[in-house]
């Protein structure tokens, strides 16, 4: 058996050996045992169910909460020649039937689906017909109200035990406190489960919190100090653009990523970053989930995250190759209040969620008692302005509706382009003669879309771009010109959020079912932020030890390299010698010395002051420190 799983590991993933407890977990799964696996970000959780599923006959059912994560996993499996299918929102009844048939008769190895999709009667009935060899519950912390991303629909995942009684279950997570861990074991009804918990310790990552009034300067400084790829996490789409522009103007090669850019742009920017064409990605937390890049040397949090769980998961994307990396949180005196304003002041209460749900139904003109199953696209800011909603609170309200399976929320940028030629054929031919540079694109459109002179026709810009070798931007310019010249009626509408309504409209009754849960979750979110702020304000406890204790690992060992460890004990004497040696070589400003030593600015300034008082160094006319 051991040779079998190792040969699969090498054949499909190219790895020579397993890491951590992967091999033990896989062996236990193949022995038919139920498993709870707690592994750090980058620990290779997916291999723990993918490898045993490939060993045995049949199909593995994987429950996952995020569409983007599902699509990424399925895409990676397909790229390795493994047959995998996903049931995500927006598919027709006929397509759903065909996909389920493939799972039963098509020799597929993996079926990925959301917990909401699992609740459908047809899906449950068809799973009963499948030869299920394993049940995998990914991001299992979502089953606990104490978890960072609680999704009540996860509470129904235990029905898979009834649908596939002979298949073992493996639950996996990278962010589980002891309380969450207990919830997972109880709610999934695991049979005599074996618990594997790899230490969350990441020895190769140096955790730091940098308190400064000049975050832009220090962002530039920390990126300059590393060679290799970096991620800078921020909390808003606008900030991704602002910081990327700042870095590019200061000589760095940066790009930005958030949920509101097109799929094409996402793929292009991700590929540029993966292939080292872009070194720094400034992003919201929409970036990183499922991204397989081992050599990230630096993760910077430019703003305070909402929870320790979020921070640890995002910081853990550094150093997956086990080589030295840094996770730095930059914070200014105002950031604490900003975080409270963003995460606590705009927590939606029950009344607001009811109001938001009513406005959504009115916006899409959904009658009372009806369930509209088609995916709805809309531009979030336009919606917020129409109903005079605070965007921050409205977004959190949408998340509440998503978590409680009222809607399925997906942050994807989409464009809907329609065109209809309103001129006669002779007028169109005359226009082509007068505009020879645009003619090839216009002719391609006319050949590609029948009936475009009679009906508003949906245009695929990407397809036209491939056919004509012209950019989508250039094609849009030509279409707009056709519109302006009265030759065609051109419409281009964009959306940055997709919604699928999951239950019939019943207004307040819909929300009343989970009203108490909204209040409870708001209290939990407050506790999560306070825990994150405590981490930021901590001044005497090793960062790594602090994080491990948060996740239930009782350790007093110090990492020796975080900002806390490096400012304690005998470091001051060592730093005096380091500073003297640096100044001996050539003069340095205080900022240069902070950058070179990678230590807290206050400590470096304190040492410089001592050396000045001891008359070992002095300031020159350039405000640089030199030998006396």
Q: pLDDT digits over 111-143, tens only?
A: 999 888 898 899 999 999 999 999 999 999 989
Work out the percent of the chain whose per-residue pLDDT is above 90. 49
**Given a cut of 50, is residue 1 above it in pLDDT?**
no
Q: Could you tell me the fold of the domain covering 2-197?
A: Rossmann fold (3.40.50)
* Domain ranges (residues) in the chain: 2-197, 205-333, 341-413+497-526, 414-495, 569-627
Cβ neighbour number for residue 455 with a 10 Å cutoff: 12
Mean pLDDT in residue range 287-307:
86
| CB-count exposure of residue 481 (10 Å: 0-12, 13-18, 19+) | middle
Q: Give the CATH class of 569-627.
A: mainly alpha
**Given a cut of 70, is residue 571 above it in pLDDT?**
no
* b (16+ CB within 10 A) / e for 214-231: ebeebbbbbbeebebbbb
81 φ/ψ sector (left φ>0, alpha ψ -120 to 50, else beta): left
| CB-count exposure of residue 159 (10 Å: 0-12, 13-18, 19+) | middle
Task: Dump pLDDT digits (tens) for 455-491.
Answer: 889 888 888 988 999 988 899 999 999 999 999 999 8
205-333 and 569-627: same fold?
Answer: no
Task: Mention every residue, 6+ apart, whose C-beta is less than 8 A from residue 159.
Answer: 118, 124
Mean pLDDT in residue range 523-545:
92
**Given a cut of 60, is residue 569 above it in pLDDT?**
no
Task: Mention every residue, 6+ apart, whose C-beta is less than 8 A from residue 71.
Answer: 86, 88
Tokens of 70: 């599902």
Question: Dihedral, CA atoms, 515, 519, 521, 524, nearest 10 degrees?
Answer: -170
* Least confident piece of the model among 241-250, 289-298, 483-492, 548-557: 289-298
**Given a cut of 80, is residue 214 above it in pLDDT?**
yes
Distance CA 270, CA 227 (A): 19
Mean residue pLDDT across the chain: 88
**DSSP-derived pairing of the beta strands 488-495 and 414-421:** antiparallel
Task: Dump pLDDT digits (tens) for 179-193.
Answer: 888 899 988 888 889
Residue in this structure with the two tokens 């914070």, named with its chain if needed? 331
| Longest Cα separation, the chain | 92
**Per-residue confidence (pLDDT) for residue 555, from 0 to 100:** 83
Query: For the chain, what is the total number of helices (H) and then of strands (E)?
Result: 27, 21
Mean pLDDT in residue range 75-84:
92
Secondary structure of residue 78 in the 3-state scheme? helix
| CB-count exposure of residue 419 (10 Å: 0-12, 13-18, 19+) | buried
Q: Cα 306 to the chain's mean position, in Å?
A: 14
- Alpha helices (H) in 320-379, listed in sequence order: 335-343, 350-363
* CATH dotted code for 341-413+497-526: 1.10.10.10
**Per-residue confidence (pLDDT) for residue 372, from 0 to 100:** 87
Are 499 and 375 in contact, with CB atoms under 8 Å apart?
yes
**Given a cut of 60, is residue 86 above it in pLDDT?**
yes
| pLDDT-based confidence at residue 335 (cuts at 50, 70, 90) | very high
**Per-residue confidence (pLDDT) for residue 370, from 0 to 100:** 93
What angle, rounded to 10 degrees, do the helices at 237-249 and 215-224 form? 60
* CATH dotted code for 205-333: 3.40.50.300
**Per-residue confidence (pLDDT) for residue 227, from 0 to 100:** 80
Distance CA 599, CA 225 (A): 12
């Amino acid at each position: 058996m051991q040779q079998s799983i190792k040969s699969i590991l090498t054949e499909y993933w190219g790895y020579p050996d397993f890491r951590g407890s992967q091999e033990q977990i896989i062996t236990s799964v193949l022995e038919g045992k139920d498993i709870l696996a707690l592994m750090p970000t980058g620990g290779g959780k997916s291999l723990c169910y993918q490898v045993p599923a490939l060993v045995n006959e049949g199909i593995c059912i994987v429950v996952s909460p995020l569409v983007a994560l599902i699509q990424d996993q399925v895409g990676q499996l397909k790229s390795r020649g493994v047959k995998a299918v996903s049931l995500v929102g927006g598919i027709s009844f006929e397509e759903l039937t065909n996909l389920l048939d493939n799972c039963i008769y098509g020799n597929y190895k993996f079926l990925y689906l959301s917990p909401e999709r699992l609740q459908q009667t047809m899906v449950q009935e068809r799973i009963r017909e499948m030869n299920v060899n394993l049940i995998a519950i990914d991001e299992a912390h979502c089953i606990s109200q104490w978890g960072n991303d609680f999704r009540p629909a996860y509470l129904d995942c235990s029905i898979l035990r009834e649908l596939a009684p002979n298949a073992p279950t493996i639950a996996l997570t990278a962010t589980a406190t002891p309380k969450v861990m207990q919830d997972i074991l109880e709610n999934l009804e695991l049979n005599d489960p074996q618990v594997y918990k790899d230490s969350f310790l990441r020895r190769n990552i140096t955790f730091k919190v940098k308190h400064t009034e000049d975050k832009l300067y220090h962002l530039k400084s920390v990126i300059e100090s590393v060679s290799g790829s970096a991620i800078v996490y921020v909390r808003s789409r606008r900030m991704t653009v602002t910081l990327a522009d700042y870095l590019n103007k200061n000589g760095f090669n940066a790009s930005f990523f958030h949920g509101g850019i097109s799929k094409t742009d996402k793929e292009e920017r991700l590929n540029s970053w993966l292939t080292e064409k872009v070194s720094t990605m400034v992003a919201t937390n929409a970036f990183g989930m499922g991204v397989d890049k081992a050599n990230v040397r630096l993760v910077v949090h430019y703003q305070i995250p909402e929870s320790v769980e979020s921070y640890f998961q995002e910081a853990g994307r550094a150093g997956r190759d086990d080589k030295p990396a840094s996770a730095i949180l930059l914070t200014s005196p105002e950031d604490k209040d900003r975080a409270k304003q963003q995460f606590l002041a705009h927590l939606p209460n029950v009344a607001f969620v009811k109001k938001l749900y009513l406005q959504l139904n009115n916006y899409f003109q959904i009658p009372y008692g009806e369930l509209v199953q088609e995916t709805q696209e809309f531009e979030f800011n336009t919606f917020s302005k129409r109903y005079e909603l605070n965007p921050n609170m409205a977004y959190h309200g949408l998340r509440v509706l998503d978590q409680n399976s009222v809607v399925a929320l997906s942050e994807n940028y989409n464009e809907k382009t329609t065109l209809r030629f309103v001129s006669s054929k002779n007028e169109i031919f005359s226009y082509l003669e007068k505009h020879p540079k645009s003619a090839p694109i216009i002719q391609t459109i006319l050949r590609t879309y029948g009936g475009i002179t009679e009906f508003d026709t949906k245009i695929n810009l990407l397809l036209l771009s491939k056919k004509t070798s012209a950019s989508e931007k250039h094609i849009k310019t030509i279409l707009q010109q056709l519109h302006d010249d009265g030759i065609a009626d051109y419409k281009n509408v964009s959306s940055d959020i997709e919604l699928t309504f999951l239950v019939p409209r019943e207004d307040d009754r819909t929300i009343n079912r989970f009203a108490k849960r909204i209040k409870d979750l708001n209290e939990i979110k407050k506790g999560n932020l306070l825990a994150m702020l405590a981490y930021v304000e901590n001044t005497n406890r090793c960062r790594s030890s602090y994080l491990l204790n948060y996740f239930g690992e009782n350790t007093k060992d110090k990492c020796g390299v975080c900002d806390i460890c490096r400012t304690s004990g005998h470091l001051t004497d060592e730093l005096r010698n380091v500073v003297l040696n640096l100044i001996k070589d050539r003069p340095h400003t205080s900022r240069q010395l902070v950058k070179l030593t990678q230590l807290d600015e206050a400590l470096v300034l304190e040492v410089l002051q001592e050396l000045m008082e001891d008359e070992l160094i002095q300031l020159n006319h350039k405000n640089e420190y030199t030998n006396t």
